[in-house]
Amino acid sequence: MNNPENKSQVKITEPQKVVMEYLDALLSEIDPEIDLEINEPVQAPEVDTLREAKSIVENSNVPVFTEGAEALAQDEFQILLFDVSGVKFAVPLDKLNGILEWSNDISPMPNRSDWFVGILAERERQIKIIDTAIVVVPSKFRTQHTAENLKKIILIGDSCWGLACDAVSEVITLRQKDVRWRKDSSKRPWLAGTVIEHMCALLDADEFASMLGSDQLEPAA
């Protein structure tokens, strides 16, 4: 006889297990007593342009946060979800300076770190493109990652840095209680916190750009 309780259980796929294991590792740095319980995520539509993403905010009458991770924790704020090597990340919407399609015009630079893809000339700007997966996803979680997966570029740091990713999806509104905030130092200073409901890690865009500019960023271990 079938157990009726089994019908209500969510089947977790292998990619989801990878995401859960990675988020669990991040959470252990924030709160080691957290037990991770994640429901099956809902597939979100892609956002093609930053204009489309910001239009959601302009029509929502929701206040936007100001500066830094501490300010992020005040009231409601918006984040853009994006995918990197099968793992979902988020960046504060008002820290974005644009979203570009992947370009074959990126010029590689010799003698640079593995995560540094190259330079893209865009409207009189020289954008430094990084392979985000190499920086934020440890190698054991990105076994299927290839350069061919990169489809979008998210601009941060006054548009001088471009985070290459697989896809961008939706803009969502969060409140302080929705985020498990990082309260102290971590081996991942770019990590502002995690959003369990959406199975994603929230980036501190300012810290990320600062680390990139100071050459302190290393491949994720």
Number of domains present in the structure of the chain: 1
Query: Which range of residues forms the domain containing residue 88?
Result: 4-213
Strand order in the sheet with 87-92: 167-175, 76-84, 87-92, 200-203, 191-195, 180-181
219 found inside a domain: no
179-207, pLDDT tens digit by residue?
988 877 667 889 999 998 898 999 999 99
What pTM was computed for the model?
Answer: 0.73
Comparing 69 with 119, which gets the higher pLDDT? 119
129 found inside a domain: yes
Query: CATH number for the domain including 36?
Result: 2.40.50.180
167 found inside a domain: yes
Q: What residue type is 24 in one-letter code?
A: D
59-107, pLDDT tens digit by residue?
444 333 334 455 555 579 999 999 999 899 999 998 999 999 999 999 9
146 found inside a domain: yes
204 found inside a domain: yes
138-169, pLDDT tens digit by residue?
888 888 889 899 999 999 988 899 999 999 99
